[in-house]
Structure 1
Amino acid sequence: MANQEPDHIQVQHILIGFKGSVPDQPISRSKEQARTLAYDLLKQAQAGANFDDLVRQHTDDSPPGIYGMSNKGIVPTAGEYARTGMVPAFGDTGFPLQVGEIGIADYDPRTSPYGWHIVKRLK
């Protein structure tokens, strides 16, 4: 099956939150400012900007923001997270990507409650 998702992936991400969306983070930007910034960073990344630099400069998560994930029904290896243990939009964005491809998970109170995730598949 050509569209089958992989069992394991490694991704790097930039989390762009807004005031109150990320616990214990003093973020002052509004939801609309966060959305605008997230899509600006997505465009920069897709145009070839250094993703590591974008992560270091902008993420509301801990750099380098690299996560290994195992797909649904697959036992995680050492250092990986189960897809079901992450916010749904993170895996839903990361697993369909090809290596080197970049996508975005939009803020959604149920599936991406911390804000926008700009996700690059590494492996």
Structure 2
Amino acid sequence: MRSFQVGCLALGLMVSVACGGTPPEKPETEDKAAKPTKPAPKPCDPQDLIPVKPETVPESLEVQHILIAYKGSGAAKSPQINVTRSKEEARKLWEKVFQEARNCADFNKLVIEYSDDPYKMNDSKYNAFPGFYEITPKGVFDESFKKCAQGLSPGNIDKVESYYGFHIIRRKA
């Protein structure tokens, strides 16, 4: 008889909830602090920015990059760039900006603020994406830069040092 009463009670509860009712409140004795709560999601998850090798290496791809030049780097030899920082100062800045990028900072703003690339805003087709480059088989890019970019899945960010200085590269999704 007792199992019949429990069954009827459970059936009544299910029908009540199914018809728009609300289940009864649980007693306050339950410890709410014991249940972990998930933090509100960020606009992007830093885990999504960790370099992941693509399934196939594309022939051409689109990237944004931040160039941090220093005295003696290939970029510093350009008359359009006036670089006064040492290689060690550039390396520290590179690490700082890389962490900001990995922590979901607006990459476009990072390019505008930190990149020493004199051509970061020259392509009117892609003004929404400063620091934009398309890497093609016929394009002339530093080999370490090209390999780093080709080793990224869309949306991933990585860093590399080249003849021109330190780069933070984001492959366009």
Residue equivalent to 1:10: 62
Verify the 8 A CA contact 1:100 1:122 in the aligned structure 2.
yes
What is the number of residues matched between the two proteins? 106
Alpha-carbon offset, residue 5 of structure 1:
0.5
Tell me: higher relative CO, structure 1 or 2? Use CA pairs within 8 A at least 6 residues apart: 1
User: What residue ranges of structure 1 are gaps of 5+ in the alignment?
Assistant: 77-81, 107-111
Which amino acid in structure 1 is aligned with residue 108 of structure 2?
A: D
TM-score, normalised to structure 1's length? 0.80
Name the one with the larger strand percent.
Answer: 1
Residue equivalent to 2:158: 103
Q: Does 1:70 align with 2:122?
A: no
Which amino acid in structure 2 is aligned with residue 16 of structure 1?
A: I
Residue equivalent to 2:100: 44
Moved more, 93-102 or 16-25: 16-25
State the Cα deviation string for residues 38-85 of structure 1 (Å, max 9, x = none).
1111110011000000000010102211011124xxxx5xxxxx2xx1
Residue equivalent to 2:3: none
- DSSP 3-state at the match of 1:6: coil
TM-score, normalised to structure 2's length? 0.58
Alpha-carbon offset, residue 4 of structure 1:
2.6
CA distance in 1, matches of 2:153, 2:102: 13
- DSSP 3-state at the match of 2:100: helix
User: What residue ranges of structure 2 are gaps of 5+ in the alignment?
Assistant: 1-53, 121-129
Q: How many percent of aligned residue pairs carry the same amino acid?
A: 35
Instruction: Select the structure of larger CA radius of gyration.
Output: 2
Alpha-carbon offset, residue 13 of structure 1:
0.2
Residue equivalent to 2:149: 94
Residue equivalent to 1:54: 110
Q: 4+ residue stretches of structure 1 with deviation over 4 A? A: none
Name the one with the larger helix percent.
Answer: 2
CA distance in 2, matches of 1:20, 1:27: 9
Alpha-carbon offset, residue 27 of structure 1:
0.6
Alpha-carbon offset, residue 3 of structure 1:
4.0
